[in-house]
A = this chain, B = another copy of it.
Amino acid sequence: MKKNRIWLVVLGLVAASASIPFLNSCHKGGSTASAVGGDAAAKVYVAPGKYDEFYSFVSGGFNGQMSVYGLPSGRMFRIIPVFSVFPENGYGYSEETKPMLNTSHGLVPWDDLHHIAMSETKGEQDGRWAFGNANNTPRIGRVDLKTFRTTEIIEVPNSAGNHSSPFITENSEYVVAGTRFSVPVDDNADVPIDSYKKNFQGSISFIKADEPGKMDIAFQLRLPGVNFDLSRAGKGKSHGWFFFSCYNSEQASTLLEVNASQKDKDFILAINWKKAEEYTKAGLGKKEKVTYAHNYLDETTHTATSTIKNEVLVLDYRDPALKDLFYFIPCPKSPHGCDTDPTGEYIVGSGKLAAIIPVFSFTKIQKAIANKTYDGDFDGIPVINYEAVLHGEVQKPGLGPLHTEFDGKGFAYTSFFVSSEIVKWNIEKLEVVDRVPTYYSIGHLSIPGGPTAKPHGKYVIAYNKITKDRYLPTGPELTQSAQLYDISGEKMKLLLDFPTTGEPHYAEAIPAELLVKNSVKIFKIEDNKHPYVAKGEKETKVTRQGNQVHVYMTAIRSHLTPDNIEGVKLGDEVYFHVTNLEQDWDVPHGFAIKGANNAEILIMPGETCTLKWKPDRIGMFPFYCTDFCSALHQEMQGYLRVSPANSKVELSFGTGKKAAEPTASTK
């Protein structure tokens, strides 16, 4: 323990738990400006009317969302709600989207989205989807890049702290989901916490990802109880393999700060997933009873459904029939990043308490496996000899390496949390060629296409954890921040600081040209198959089924139809099904009614959204269009009268006339 402490001091890590939060001093005012080239302003400026060159999809961390930024401007175009409710547009509140947030625990209104994986074909970004992970209540979500909407979410059973997720294979065959927190895999296992070594297990799920609506857990790998952290798929020559960093090989279950930092090396887990696929095709593995939700948004009904599933196929590392699936590679120390280079030959481990960066060779790994060059096993899984698979170590790179990406020109870029810097190094020669400070405490970094077989290079973006003194202060809670560096030359050049929303962990940037051409502008009204659609004002109506009142409403500049509704009674539940009749781009309408214990709905052209409302009193309730849509937007309003439960006021509705058009109850 004392030895461990001393070692931490050497690495400067004690500062992280002491009262001095930064190792590098805090530059204030102009002191860093000199590091910025005089043309930086021109390089990041996107003139009015011009487009950015890249989209960057940035994880929102503890906001549970993805955000879309332009590069090089650093301007945020959209927050796409994925795992957290989003009152702004009704996501998680409308009847259509509530099912998206359903889980085996019921509706979960929040999560923690750390990583983005963009779909790939032959190892290159193809611009179809962006996947994100929910850490807290394990799930993976798919965002459709035609509509920039979350269209599918799958829950991951037997998992907790879904951190090493949603990394993707080179043809989007699978996205993976690995446990950060190992847990007793039987959800009902009431066991002591200190029985961790006996009862807790890790699991890594391979989720079919290449067909919208069909996400499913193809197989789940049952593994020893450790913490899985980050991951990358093999690519090119290593396609068919997956690599996961593991920490807490000490298998501690309390005070991990100390107890999971004991060993000098933890592991990278190499998985032969092609072989796992073969085993499942051969009928091996065992089906287990579990409960998890699969949620899918149908783009014709504009409505999500949630299906509870009850079975998962498990391949257990202790099953003697499942040979040659798993290998541990020793990796110093408490590794975070585990990244494969564009060729697929090199695997870079970033031990956050390590003083070097190890680079492993896939060719050597194959050879070591063939020769069984093992140093024993960990819980029955072979541990490959470290030196046998080492391409080499980057010496004295910095303090606290976290994550590495690639520029496609033979260089790797590694982020260093503790020494707050990005270090550029030569993959073959393992030589550091450049380093730049970041402000402050960088986590992940991102190069457009950086994790793929074909990086686009040009920029590296630092996602920093601390911004103290970098922006105008905003009280105790400060923005988290990104920094954009030009990497087109030999030396990295800081261009721009830009604040971000939420707590960005990771981002993946993609050339704009891959998405612009496919971006959907409107939903065609003739394709709308929503069960409560009104495709024109003549189809609007108000119907009653018991105490449920259904309003088939339309919105078009600048009126709602109907805009006068009477005959609703206390005790009724009112469903406003609002169809936006517009067929022009950028003309949403919104809808809200006074006093609702609900959010608004924001309805895109051609879409139908439903707001449920249960009036709590008798009286007059105004409703209105919430999105400034036209010169007469302020006139786009209406009234709903709520009468006593025993009232004899008949159901009636209309727009532009006396509000007295009685309608018979239907059904």
Q: With the chains together, A494 CA to B45 CA distance in Å?
A: 13
Would you give the shortest CB distance from A252 to chain B, in whole angstroms? 9
**Residue A478 at the chain B interface, CB threshold 8 Å:** yes
Identify which of A254-262, A277-285, A389-397, A527-535 touches chain B.
A254-262
Would you give the shortest CB distance from A299 to chain B, in whole angstroms? 11
Chain B residue at minimal CB-CB distance from A569: B190
**A247, A259, A483, A519 pick with most chain B CB within 10 angstroms:** A519
Task: Provide the residues of chain B in CB contact with A31, threshold 8 Å.
Answer: 49
**Residue A161 at the chain B interface, CB threshold 8 Å:** yes
Identify which of A236-244, A340-348, A421-429, A465-473 touches chain B.
A465-473
**Residue A96 at the chain B interface, CB threshold 8 Å:** no
Would you give the shortest CB distance from A646 to chain B, in whole angstroms? 11
Q: With the chains together, A660 CA to B519 CA distance in Å?
A: 57
Q: Could you mark each residue 600-632 of chain A with 1 if its beta carbon is under 8 Å from any beta carbon of chain B, else 0?
A: 101011010000000011111110101111111
Task: Provide the residues of chain B in CB contact with A467, threshold 8 Å.
Answer: 586
Task: Provide the residues of chain B in CB contact with A2, threshold 8 Å.
Answer: none
Task: Provide the residues of chain B in CB contact with A40, threshold 8 Å.
Answer: 45, 47
Task: Provide the residues of chain B in CB contact with A106, threshold 8 Å.
Answer: 597, 616
Q: Which one of B51, B520, B655 contacts A255 once the chains associate, using CB atoms below 8 Å?
A: B655
**Residue A574 at the chain B interface, CB threshold 8 Å:** no
Would you give the shortest CB distance from A20 to chain B, in whole angstroms? 8
Q: With the chains together, A477 CA to B607 CA distance in Å?
A: 12
B586 pairs with A641, CB closer than 8 A:
no
**Residue A505 at the chain B interface, CB threshold 8 Å:** yes
Chain B residue at minimal CB-CB distance from A27: B49
Would you give the shortest CB distance from A267 to chain B, in whole angstroms? 15
Task: Provide the residues of chain B in CB contact with A48, threshold 8 Å.
Answer: 32-33, 35-36, 439, 470, 483, 494, 496-497
**Residue A123 at the chain B interface, CB threshold 8 Å:** no
Task: Provide the residues of chain B in CB contact with A478, threshold 8 Å.
Answer: 77-78, 585-586
**Residue A548 at the chain B interface, CB threshold 8 Å:** no
Task: Provide the residues of chain B in CB contact with A103, threshold 8 Å.
Answer: 595
A87 pairs with B70, CB closer than 8 A:
no
Task: Provide the residues of chain B in CB contact with A639, threshold 8 Å.
Answer: 181, 193, 253
B472 pairs with A257, CB closer than 8 A:
no
B519 pairs with A474, CB closer than 8 A:
yes
A190 pairs with B597, CB closer than 8 A:
no
Identify which of A107-115, A169-177, A216-224, A304-312 touches chain B.
A107-115
B635 pairs with A519, CB closer than 8 A:
no
**Residue A656 at the chain B interface, CB threshold 8 Å:** yes
B109 pairs with A93, CB closer than 8 A:
yes
Chain B residue at minimal CB-CB distance from A400: B631
Q: Mark out the residues of chain A between 484 and 513 whose CB falls within 8 Å of any chain B CB in the assembled complex.
A: 494, 496-499, 501-503, 505, 512
A187 pairs with B617, CB closer than 8 A:
yes
**Residue A13 at the chain B interface, CB threshold 8 Å:** yes
B600 pairs with A17, CB closer than 8 A:
no
Task: Provide the residues of chain B in CB contact with A598, threshold 8 Å.
Answer: 109-110
**Residue A338 at the chain B interface, CB threshold 8 Å:** no
Q: With the chains together, A13 CA to B630 CA distance in Å?
A: 9
**Residue A132 at the chain B interface, CB threshold 8 Å:** no
Q: Mark out the residues of chain A between 142 and 197 whose CB falls within 8 Å of any chain B CB in the assembled complex.
A: 146-149, 160-161, 163, 180-181, 183-184, 186-194
A16 pairs with B190, CB closer than 8 A:
no
Q: With the chains together, A112 CA to B564 CA distance in Å?
A: 22
**Residue A638 at the chain B interface, CB threshold 8 Å:** yes
Q: Could you mark each residue 576-593 of chain A with 1 if its beta carbon is under 8 Å from any beta carbon of chain B, else 0?
A: 000000011111101011
Q: With the chains together, A447 CA to B479 CA distance in Å?
A: 25
B477 pairs with A148, CB closer than 8 A:
yes
Task: Provide the residues of chain B in CB contact with A559, threshold 8 Å.
Answer: 255-257
22 A-B pairs (CB sep. < 8 Å): A16-B557, A64-B87, A76-B501, A77-B472, A85-B85, A87-B110, A109-B597, A110-B599, A135-B626, A136-B592, A138-B594, A147-B476, A192-B641, A193-B641, A257-B636, A261-B635, A334-B634, A352-B632, A352-B634, A468-B585, A474-B519, A503-B627
Q: Which 7 A-B pairs have the closest CB atoms?
A: A41-B45, A255-B656, A256-B635, A32-B49, A148-B475, A110-B599, A16-B630
